[in-house]
Amino acid sequence: MTSVLVVVTAGDSGQGRGNRGGGGHGGFATAGGFCHGPYGQYGNWVALYNVQVTIRPEMGAMEMRSVLHERLIAHVNRKKWWHVPPVDPNAYRKRGKFLASTYEESEFWGRPLDDPQRITIARPLIGDEKTIETRLFGQPVPWDGICLMRRRFALDAKMKRTALAKGYDSIVLMSPKGFSKFKATGKFPRSIELNILAPTGTEF
């Protein structure tokens, strides 16, 4: 049997992730911003406590994905998330509610709310940018490097509509490196971008 030591970011530490809701965007806020790609740059890991996960050699790929999926849902639901309210009052309806795992990352889009928020998800679409876009649209969305907010907003809205139609209630975005390590070791990235696709009135 193989044991993997998992590094976890505790929910009450204030460590959390991106928020496209700020600055009237309704999108993810990252430290690097859009011009480094659709979702910007990403952070490092934070070791707050240790969890022992046993991966059985006979465990199939589907079973392993299910284990990681459930662990990530629990992680997201116990964390505190930071949010910058959008200027556009229709942003939640159009694009969803975007949240940041750290206060510093949410500041990219404006001033975050004074207090972090807790959310509940049950059916997230999890992955890095290319994985998420491929699952939604069949292939990654071409990106020419031009940072136009209206194009970003339009893609956000399309992703929300498509994800809801496919039965997801949220999108959990990691960097390619973070997603690869998560799949291989079960480690949660310090930086995770979260979009609640259909927030209730009490969530905003």
What are the pLDDT digits (tens) for 119-168? Answer: 999 999 999 999 999 999 999 998 876 667 888 889 999 999 999 999 99
Please tell me the predicted confidence (pLDDT) of residue 82. 92
Count of CB atoms within 10 A of residue 60's CB?
9
190's CB contacts (< 8 A; 6+ apart) are: 9, 15, 43, 44, 45, 46, 101, 102
Cα–chain center distance at 28: 8
Structure-model confidence comparison of residues 69 and 63, the more confident one: 69
Structure tokens that stand for 183 in this block: 């799949």
Please tell me the predicted confidence (pLDDT) of residue 133. 97
**Alpha-carbon span 62 to 166, nearest angstrom:** 19
Q: Are strands 49-55 and 97-100 parallel, antiparallel or unpaired?
A: unpaired
The DSSP element (H or E) to which 125 belongs, if any, is: strand 124-127
State the number of CA atoms in the 13 A half-sphere of 140 facing the CB: 10
Return mean pLDDT, the chain.
73
Please tell me the predicted confidence (pLDDT) of residue 62. 59
Q: Are strands 124-127 and 2-8 parallel, antiparallel or unpaired?
A: unpaired
pTM for this predicted structure: 0.69
Mean pLDDT of the 85-114 span: 90
